[in-house]
Amino acid sequence: MKKRLLAICMMCLLLLGSAGGAEAAWQPELLVSLGTKGTTLRLSGNMPVVLKRLDNKKVVWQGKAGEFVTLTFAGTGWELNGRKLKHADAATLELTVADERNLAKLISTYDNKSYCGVLRLVPRKAGLHLINRVTVEEYLQGVVPEEMPAEWDQEAVKAQAVAARTYALRQRKRHAKEGFDVCATTHCQQYSGVKAERAAANQAIKATYGEVLQSQGALVDALFHTDSGGMTENSEDVWGSRIDCLRAAKELRTETSPWEKTIAAAKFSELLAKRGKNIGELKKIELSPLKVGKAAKDRTMSGRVKSVTFVGKGGKASMTGNDLRSMLGLKSTLFGMSINHNAVVIKGYGWGHGLGMSQHGAKAYADSEHWDYKRILQHYYRGAELKKLY
């Protein structure tokens, strides 16, 4: 009898252990806006799906794996394959699975565009607002290859995976007033769903599963950009406030990603005037020479432009480097300016705001110095700790 009780106890412990393992597989979800898509959508799933009301979870339709259905919002209610959908009213609907423990395996398709996870359909005056409710790791599969080429060194791609995961979780609720967490554009992170997925990127995501960057127990603002041009930037020189993890970091190579832009001096003066800086005919540009990694009164520690003064026949005016970048669509604020034959010539390096990780810089360290992703992240996010969140 005692042996039998012992066996039962051991079986219970094994079952509890299995349940704990399943619980450990939990991961956060994100609500990603895919934008407004008109009033009619053609939907399907790679496995049996259900269409539920979001408010009361009532199932209004069930479909087989691969079965397509046309869903239309007809102003006051829903139509399914041209017939009024009962018990749906004007409610928000979700195309999901009956057992959401299988959510990470679900691939939902609308109009031949596929996304991991649930499709949420929100009726609005302008059309159906489509939101993808997706687990974080599956979301990253549609992000990482869009932000960094998957064929780059795996250590650089792993660093990108950790940065993208941290950034996404830090940005949750960024668009809360609009009913979702993040958008699918570069305003948050570029996200293209299943079509973007690459095996090498998925491998990097899997290798860093659940890993994020933290400082004092909070997620860091893990910003990244294409190329620093030779040195990243201190946060206060871009945003005006100091963030400890976002410190200027030197690169393996300088004067990378060179670019040039030329604009007629008269046109340039017009653009200044539109911004309330009417100086007349441009005669002189006051800006220190560009030297990457060297500060000046009008340049930051990395050499980026703090401010430029323009002198004209009708007076003078100053602009910040960031305002000039916005006005002229410049790739970065790491630039020099001159007047040449009635034209303003701007020559610079890098691509992006210069904060956090330089993607080309990470590639260089992985390729030439054989740094692993942990060292790359330590270099660009000073003092941040790599933690396994789930």
Average pLDDT of the chain to the nearest whole number? 92
Percent of the chain scoring above 70 in pLDDT = 94
pLDDT at residue 16 tops 70: no
pLDDT at residue 7 tops 70: no
φ, ψ of residue 74 in degrees (nearest 5): -100, 50
Q: Are 224 and 186 in contact (CB under 8 A)?
A: no
Tokens 């659940």 locate to 210
| Confidence grade of residue 76 (pLDDT, cut at 50, 70, 90) | confident
Specify the pLDDT at position 284.
97
Percent of the chain scoring above 90 in pLDDT = 89
Q: What is the spatial distance between Cα 32 and Cα 118, in angstroms, rounded to a whole number?
A: 10
pLDDT at residue 227 tops 90: yes
| Confidence grade of residue 175 (pLDDT, cut at 50, 70, 90) | very high
pLDDT digits (tens, 9 = 90+) for 288-343: 999 999 999 999 999 999 999 999 999 999 999 999 999 999 999 999 999 999 99
Q: What is the spatial distance between Cα 161 and Cα 373, in angstroms, rounded to a whole number?
A: 10
User: Running DSSP on this structure, what letter comes out for residue 178?
Assistant: G
Flag whether the pTM goes above 0.85.
Answer: yes
Q: Where are the domains of the chain?
A: 29-136, 142-175+186-226+354-388, 259-348
β-partners of residue 81 are none
Q: What is the spatial distance between Cα 170 and Cα 223, in angstroms, rounded to a whole number?
A: 10
The 10 Å Cβ neighbour count of residue 3 is 7
The 3-state DSSP class for residue 135 equals: strand
Specify the pLDDT at position 74.
86
Specify the pLDDT at position 3.
43
